Amino acid sequence: TMKKNVTFKNRAINMAGNVYLPNDFSDNKKYAAIVCVHPGSSVKEQTAGIYAGKMAAHGFVTLAFDASYQGESGGEPRYIEEPAARVEDIRSAVDYLTTLEFVDPDRIGVLGVCAGGGYSVNAAMTEHRIKAVGTVVGANIGRIYRENNPIQTLEAIGKQRTAEANGAEPMIINWTPSSPEEREKQGITDIDIVEAVEYYRTPRGEYPTSCNKLRFVSMASVLAFDAFNLVEQLLTQPLQIIVGDKQGAFGSYKDGQELYRRATCEKDLLVIEGASHYDLYDIPKYVDQAVKKLTEFYGKHLK
């Protein structure tokens, strides 16, 4: 699979992406394409890039990119997690794919992992150039953060905004504990957080631009975001949901079940036995099962 570094625009922001091309790529052919959307705190070189590479090997043109304000993409201030921007990132990625001579603009899909899965569903509701929607351990990031004292957090955000408006330094927090040792010290034992630290903060999955930094005040818009709001009404495209059956704090199993129950479009739910949330990021045994299903799904709906 060939990988090319690309840039494209999300309004005034320069977005950084990687386009993956099929092995037998020819400029003269028109390909189906898939936008691959990374999890919260992640970058294009991590799990989104793994899936992008594997789907390209199965004949699709794929695009993985860094979210606005994060990684190698532009946008100030840095380290914002902004749901509206994340959704617009996906629309802008579709814009970019339509400019490529070798992409068929009528055969574009989206594939999101973890929070990227929630954002993908949300974007597809209002972006009907997307013809097929896939999620791997897709999670509704707003729900995750609302489960832990949201009102208290919003009060703290208000105080922090006031402080920053009056000259205080921006408050930058960590997405996860900064190392396995730090996690142990905090006494956290939930499988999803244990494995998040294992994936992002050790050589298994770490990448320099995935720096574990989050601008605290941006959490206000995350807390008010519901990835699945209006899904019954606006999501008409075929939907493939993939989760593992080992459940943890991030609740992707629960979100997958809820999305499957609520969606009124053509839909399928695959539960991969023995897989945890993070097994489906990079463990070949489980990723390959997901890719097999996704290849069939996009092959059928982007043909």
pLDDT attached to residue 128: 98
Percent of the chain's residues with pLDDT above 70: 100
Place of tokens 């949330």: 277
pTM above 0.95, yes or no: yes
pLDDT attached to residue 226: 98
The predicted-structure confidence for 234-287, as pLDDT tens digits, reads as follows 999 999 999 999 999 999 999 999 999 999 999 999 999 999 999 999 999 999
pLDDT value at 1 more than 90? no
Mean pLDDT of 2-19: 97
Percent of the chain's residues with pLDDT above 90: 99
The b/e string for 51-90 (b: 16+ C-beta within 10 A; e otherwise) is bbbbbbebebbbbbbbbbbbbbbbbeeebbbbbebbbbbb
Q: How far apart are CA 193 and CA 164, in angstroms?
A: 30
pLDDT value at 90 more than 90? yes
278 closest CA partner among 177, 188, 204, 170: 204
Q: How far apart are CA 147 and CA 132, in angstroms?
A: 30
Element at 105 (helix H, strand E): strand 103-113
Q: How far apart are CA 108 and CA 129, in angstroms?
A: 7
The predicted-structure confidence for 146-175, as pLDDT tens digits, reads as follows 999 999 999 999 999 999 999 999 999 999
| Percent helix, strand and coil across the chain, each to the nearest 5 | 40, 20, 40
Q: How far apart are CA 247 and CA 148, in angstroms?
A: 18
pLDDT value at 211 more than 90? yes
Rounded to the nearest integer, the mean pLDDT of the chain is: 98
Q: How many helices (H) and strands (E) does the chain have?
A: 12, 10
170 closest CA partner among 179, 185, 160: 160
The C-alpha R_g of the chain, in whole angstroms, comes to 18
